[in-house]
Every structure is written in C-alpha cells, then in structure tokens.
C-alpha cells in the first residue's frame, strides 16, 4: 500500500519525518518555557514584594534599606569598601538583614564611617551626618589678653575678663567694637564665678568669701561709684551667686544659708533660708526668679537625706515665702 504523504508547507519543505520532529521541538520548547516560567515565578514575585534569596539560610528573606543623608550633600558613599555611583542623599535597597560598613567621604572634609544594621522590612536611617571641614573657619575675636569670657547671643555681646590687668572688655559677636568698659578690684582672690546682669549694666564676680560688683554703664540709674563694690562674707563660704531679674539684687548661696543682698556699698543681706551642714546643689531660673536647691534633712529613721526645694523670690524682696519647713528666716 503506498505511503500517505503529509501535506502543507512544512511537509513540502522538510519532508514528512522532519515536519514531525519540528512539531515535537516546538511542543518541547513550549513546555520548557512554561516550566522555566513556573520555576522563576517565585523569584520574580519575591523580588517584586521586597524579598531576596538568602544563600546562607536558603530561604527567601524580606530585605531592608539604608537611607543616607548628609550635610553638605553630594558625598561619596563606600558600601563595604566599594564606591557606589550615587552620592548623598541616596538609598541602598534590597539588602539582606545584617551589618554593613558605610564610609562617607568628601574632599577637604573629615570622613565619616559606621557599621549600620539592617533589619527585615525596615529602613535604617543615617540622616544626621555632618562632615566637618579639615580646616575650620577660625576667627580670633579678642584684641587684648583675656582670662575668661561670657557670650550673650541675645544681646549680641561678648564680655571678657583680664584678671592680670583687672579689666573688663566688651565686643559684639564678631569681635568688633572691642573696648575697655570697666575695672575689676585689684588683688581679688581666686575668682570662682562671674556673671553679667540681665540689663547688661553691671557684673559680679565672687570668690570664697567676697563678692565684687563692677558697673559697666556710668549712666546706671543708681548712680553708684565707678569703682567696684566689695561685699564680704568672712564667716561663710560662698557657693553660688545669681542675679535677680531686676539686675539690682544678688541671690547668694553660702554653706550656711541663702540670702538676697542689694548690689550697693555697705548693703546688708536678707537671710531667706538657713541650710543644714552638707553640700548644697542649686539652680536659679532667672526668667521666673525661682530658686531650686537641696538641703540635707534627718528623717525619722535617723538617716540623712537630700531634699529638693523650690523657692520663689518675688519682686517684693521683703515678703518671701518658701516651701522649706523650719528653714525660713522670719
């Protein structure tokens, strides 16, 4: 019986056997493509959903992100010692959980480096980085020799003390208008502290047993002498001194008491509180004229405890009230 020949373009071109092989090849390629797609689908979906295959655990793991922001911007990023193409601000994505070394570099600036931990599904932010210049912008402000200084940004002023020459200088915040404005007492003992008054018209400095008040403004309403005023505390050790908000009274804390005294010659202090023996800690809120201080107290268990008190020092300086049982000087 004669063989039945297949018809069609494939049969005409390749012959009957070759046409069947071609058909089988096409079918095989189709099923292979389906198999490859099915095998790769989990990887495709995993990457799309933020997962990555972890070769250490052989599991799909949720990735994290490192976000980097610097001041200034445009900083080079080294990720595990490899330079990235992106500069700050930048995000490094699809990172498996773990620790990564970040180094940031900018010409003429100090480099910054740290190990950054990445967690699953989280953003690790490195966004408070400041790269400081190798040569800071330095400007000398004083024009004379000085010992100590105080800056008052709100008043746009800097005050300087020259202990050796017993002088007070003043300038603006740029060191301009530098001028001699007052004299300090000569041979004053070691200076423990000093402060300019709120009205910027005078300053005090104090040692263990003396307070000196120097007037910076000759037009002061109290019209006192231009020479410094000395207030003596021979039997008490001065711990802290604060200006009252009226720029006229001083709040003085000694090892024995707390008192208020006028900044004038031969003034007598008003004792507010007697303190028990022991170390005292104090804080003065000049905006509210509120004094916070500690005082050792012996409790019922015969043990000594430090108690914290608050005392308002009202403008009426002779009518004080204190939350300090038994310690107020009536």
Q: Is residue 1 part of a domain?
A: no
Region of 63 (left: φ > 0; alpha: ψ -120 to 50; beta: rest) is beta
Q: Is residue 222 part of a domain?
A: yes
CATH of the domain at 245: 2.130.10.10
- Quick one: 318 and 200 in the same domain? yes
Q: Which residue, chain included where needed, has tokens 């003065």?
A: 284
**Per the structure block, which two tokens stand in for 330?**
């009536």
Region of 238 (left: φ > 0; alpha: ψ -120 to 50; beta: rest) is beta
- Quick one: 217 and 267 in the same domain? yes
Q: Is residue 227 part of a domain?
A: yes
Q: Is residue 178 part of a domain?
A: no
- Quick one: 196 and 235 in the same domain? yes
Region of 50 (left: φ > 0; alpha: ψ -120 to 50; beta: rest) is left
- Quick one: 25 and 125 in the same domain? no
Q: How many residues does the chain have?
A: 330
* pTM for the full predicted model: 0.66
- Quick one: 76 and 115 in the same domain? yes
Q: Report the domain count for the chain.
A: 3
Contacts 24+ apart (CB under 8 A), 68-73: 68/92, 68/102, 68/104, 68/126, 68/127, 68/129, 69/125, 69/126, 69/127, 69/129, 70/104, 70/106, 70/112, 70/129, 70/130, 70/131, 71/129, 71/130, 71/131, 72/106, 72/131
Q: Which residues pair with 92 in a beta bridge?
A: 66
Q: Is residue 190 part of a domain?
A: yes
- Quick one: 35 and 70 in the same domain? no
Domain that holds residue 190: 184-322
- Quick one: 42 and 63 in the same domain? no
Q: Is residue 160 part of a domain?
A: no
CATH of the domain at 100: 2.60.40.1120
Which residue spans within 110-223 are E strands per DSSP? Answer: 112-118, 123-130, 148-152, 157-162, 167-171, 179-183, 193-196, 202-206, 210-215
- Quick one: 39 and 88 in the same domain? no
Q: Which helix (H) or strand (E) holds 84?
A: strand 82-87
Q: Is residue 145 part of a domain?
A: no
- Quick one: 306 and 238 in the same domain? yes
- Quick one: 45 and 82 in the same domain? no
Digitized pLDDT (tens) for each residue of the chain, 330 residues in all: 444 444 555 445 555 557 777 677 667 666 666 666 566 555 555 555 556 555 666 566 788 899 999 999 999 999 999 999 999 999 998 888 899 999 999 999 999 999 999 998 899 999 999 999 998 778 899 999 998 999 999 889 999 999 888 899 999 999 999 999 988 888 888 899 999 999 999 999 999 999 999 988 655 444 445 678 899 999 999 999 999 999 999 999 999 999 999 998 888 899 999 999 888 899 999 888 999 999 888 777 778 788 899 999 876 654 544 444 334 333
- Residue closest to 139 by CA, chosen among 117, 94, 171, 103: 171
- Quick one: 244 and 275 in the same domain? yes
Q: Which residue, chain included where needed, has tokens 């300038």?
A: 171
Q: Is residue 224 part of a domain?
A: yes
- Quick one: 32 and 63 in the same domain? no
DSSP state of 19: H
């Amino acid at each position: 019986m004669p063989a039945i020949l297949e018809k069609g373009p494939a049969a005409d071109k390749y012959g009957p056997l070759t046409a069947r092989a071609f058909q089988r090849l096409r079918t095989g390629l189709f099923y292979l493509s389906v198999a490859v797609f099915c095998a790769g689908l989990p990887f495709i979906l995993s990457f799309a959903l933020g997962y990555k295959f972890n070769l250490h655990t052989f599991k799909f793991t949720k990735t994290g992100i490192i976000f980097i922001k610097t001041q200034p911007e445009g900083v080079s990023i080294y990720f595990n010692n490899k330079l990235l193409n992106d500069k700050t601000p930048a995000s490094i994505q699809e990172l498996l959980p773990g620790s990564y070394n970040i180094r940031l570099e900018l010409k003429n600036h100090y480099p910054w480096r740290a190990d950054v931990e990445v967690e699953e599904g989280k953003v690790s932010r490195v966004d408070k980085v400041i790269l400081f210049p190798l040569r800071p912008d330095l400007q000398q402000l004083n024009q004379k020799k000085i010992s100590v200084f105080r800056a008052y940004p709100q008043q746009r002023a800097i005050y300087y003390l020259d202990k050796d020459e017993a002088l007070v200088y003043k300038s603006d915040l740029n060191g301009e208008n530098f001028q001699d404005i007052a004299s300090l007492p000569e041979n004053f003992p070691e200076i423990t502290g000093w402060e300019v008054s709120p009205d910027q018209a005078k300053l005090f400095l104090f040692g263990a047993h003396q307070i000196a008040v120097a007037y910076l403004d000759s037009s002061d309403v109290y019209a006192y002498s231009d020479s410094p005023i000395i207030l003596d505390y021979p039997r008490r050790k001065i711990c802290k001194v604060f200006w009252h908000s009226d720029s006229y009274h001083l709040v003085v804390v000694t090892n024995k008491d707390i008192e208020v005294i006028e900044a004038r010659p031969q003034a007598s202090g008003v004792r507010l509180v007697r303190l028990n023996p022991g170390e005292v800690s104090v804080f003065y809120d000049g905006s509210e004229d509120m004094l916070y201080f500690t005082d050792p107290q012996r409790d019922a268990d015969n043990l000594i405890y430090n108690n914290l008190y608050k005392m308002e020092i009202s403008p009426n300086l002779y009518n004080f009230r204190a939350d300090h049982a038994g310690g107020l000087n009536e």
